[in-house]
Structure 1
Amino acid sequence: MRGHISTRKIAILCFKKDRDKLKPLKDILDERYSAEFIYYSQDIWDSLLNYGCIIAYLAAGIVVRGLCGKLKGKWVDPAVIVLDKPLKHAVVLMGGHHGGNEVARVLESAGIEAVITTAMEFSHGLSVGVGFRRDVEAEDIIRAINLALEEVGAGIEDVRVIATVEAKKGSVIVDVADRFKRPLIFVSAEEINAMDIRETEAVKIGVRNVAEACAIFSSNTGELLLPKRVYGGVTVAIAR
């Protein structure tokens, strides 16, 4: 399974004196994302919330106290990674499902071990990809997912993750994931369009595919069990 880091930049939070030490990490990150140095000060925390991921070369306590009270919710907050002093470990504190785990693994090419704690990374199960029109309700999506699962002889207890396109952030899909008590992953248009996958009517909104692409992207093996099914204003696909 792959995580996802949004198109927002990565902030490398550190003291100015540590810039040269961390420059090789920035070079690695820039090959895949866009990273920039942000130098620590007590009033820096509000501006950091605009980044997709924060990599902090600071004590974890400083980071926790700085962000505490400013976070809005797991679906909108940046991923947070803390590097230990000898640069041996990258500990994902927050946002593992939303890019933190992915970025930590990218840092492994610099000899830094990713410390992953999210259970989804070590679990097996189905990946449910979902697309839906603006006017659908959470109940419509829940019903569609349950119907799709019935088609493969499974239930919600067999689902590891629900995935949809990044444009659906802040929509009713958040309520769906909360009610099912399952992790939710948002996949960017860039990631979908880079996949070797058939085109559907979703090209009208700038992506080659939605339900199938999101299911496969977030799956363990990339095997599509249930191609796209349409249930009213909702499309569902299932992979494992």
Structure 2
Amino acid sequence: MSTDTNDSEDGSGHCKTPDSDGEVAEEIAIVAFGRKMDTAEEIVEGIGDSYESIDVLEYHTDVFEEYWGEYDCFVGLMASGIAMRKTAGLLEDKWDDPAIVVIDEELTWAIPITGGHHGANQVAKDLAKLGAIPAMTTASEAAGKQGVEARAKAMDLHVVNGDSTVATNLAVLDDELGPVARLDGPKAVLVGDDVTVLKRNKDDGVVIGTGSVSGAKKETFLEAWETALEGTEYDREDVEFVATATRKEDEDGLLEAADELGLGVVAFDRETLLAHEGPTPSKSKELIGWPGVSEASAIAGGREQELVLEKLSYEDEVTVAIGR
């Protein structure tokens, strides 16, 4: 994902409340018949570490109604028809309703049936760790593209105006959305119904700014980022996203490393990076007209646009700076 800016706009996936950020599910309930409790516990063991809490509820006729609103996502260990009939009358608003996924007893298929962009797709993907095939039917995922809710989760942001995502996700499908733009205030902004507004989840999160030589491996990025964070008071949970330059946004190692950590990658253009140049001199500016990527992207991406850690070079392959 690239980000373009001008003097007042510069370019830029996790909070718990399902009615604000779209993509997140943190509190899960597995609903299972008594004879399937062993399978339910297998699911807990397999994906439990990925969630704040995961409970097992024994199925009875009113179980969904009884616990409606207490969980971000229900995983029905049952036929999809049962889950659909028992929850259809409870559904009111996709931004407030819990997500629902069904999975068969053999753990073959994980099927989001409601709330795909609001936690169900996320849970279905996690159930793939147990061998299940995520059967996702939301248009952006079916087309292999990243919808705006998924972008928000990856960048640790949340969607402010949920109704806008119908238009913006259609633009994603048509390759017309363009980059996510950052607007610095204080400002008053008038937007249309087809503009999705994203807001940071953290008040004190940090951004990993990173550059590299071509072909750097995933492991090198991961080790470099870990080493850099160890030089600060922050850790992985404080990272909002990884920032880099548009000329580095297709580096496989970088993308694979960010994906392994569940982080989004925001790519800044040359003009933005020049406007946020860091203190460490860089030969690349003399050679190709780009400032040092790690510091400039960390500054550009940070809420306060300041460095926590200046450029660190790792194995002469990856450079890292931390911004906030």
TM (norm. structure 2) is: 0.45
The Cα of 1:107 is off from its aligned counterpart by 1.2
1:107 pairs, out of 102, 127, 133, with 127
Counterpart code for 1:224:
A
Q: CA deviation at 1:115?
A: 0.9
Structure 1 residues 131 and 80 mapped into 2: Cα distance closer, same or farther (>3 Å)? closer
Equivalent runs, 1:57-76 vs 2, <5 Å: 57-76=77-96
- Cα separation, partners in 2 of 1:220 and 1:117, compared to 1, 3 Å: farther
Letter of the 1:83 counterpart: I
1: CA distance, partners of 2:37 / 2:198: 32
Distance 1:118 1:18 in 2: 29
Residue in structure 1 matched with residue 42 of structure 2 by the alignment: 24
- Rounded to whole Å, the distance in 1 between the matches of 2:265 and 2:120 is 21
Residue 224 (structure 1) aligns with: 267
Aligned-partner residue type, residue 15 of structure 1: F
> Which secondary structure state, in structure 2, belongs to the residue aligned with residue 82 of structure 1?
strand
Q: Distance in 1 between matches of 2:54 and 2:206?
A: 21
Question: Compared with structure 1, are the counterparts of its residues 23 and 224 closer, same or farther at alpha carbon in structure 2 (3 Å cutoff)?
Answer: same
Per-residue CA deviations over 1:110-158 (Å, capped at 9, x if unaligned) read 11111111122222688578989x9xxx7xxx9xxxxxxxxxxxxx972
SS at match of 1:108: helix
Structure 1 residue runs of 5 or longer lacking an equivalent are: 143-155, 164-175, 199-206, 231-240
Query: 2: CA distance between counterparts of 1:55 and 1:160?
Result: 34
Change (3 A) 1:125 1:95: closer
Match of 1:180 in 2: 194
Asked whether the equivalents of residues 5 and 53 of structure 1 are also in contact (C-alpha less than 8 Å), the reply is: no
Q: How do 1:75-224 residues align onto structure 2 when only pairs under 5 Å count? A: 75-121=95-141, 122-123=144-145, 158-159=176-177, 179-180=193-194, 189=202, 193=205, 196=208, 222-224=265-267
| Structure 1 residue 21, shift from structure 2 partner | 2.2
**What is the DSSP-based 3-state SS (H/G/I as helix, E as strand, rest coil) of the residue aligned with 1:93?**
strand
CA distance in 1, matches of 2:202, 2:114: 23
In the alignment of these two chains, the number of paired residues is 187
State the partner residue of 1:10: 28
Q: 1:181, 1:189 → 2: CA distance?
A: 22
Kept in 1: contact 2:112–2:124 (CA 8 A)? yes
Cα 1:44–1:125 change in 2 (3 A) is closer
Identify if the C-alpha distance between structure 1 residues 193 and 14 changes in structure 2 by more than 3 Å, giving closer, same or farther: farther
Does structure 1 retain, via aligned residues, the 8 Å contact 2:156–2:200?
Answer: no
Change (3 A) 1:66 1:95: same
Q: 1:130 to 1:32 in 2, by over 3 A?
A: closer
Backbone CA RMSD of aligned residues: 4.9
Query: Deviation of residue 83 (structure 1)?
Result: 0.7
Distance 2:64 2:176 in 1: 39
CA separation in 1, counterparts of 2:89 and 2:76? Answer: 18
2:54 maps to which residue?
35
Larger Rg belongs to: 2
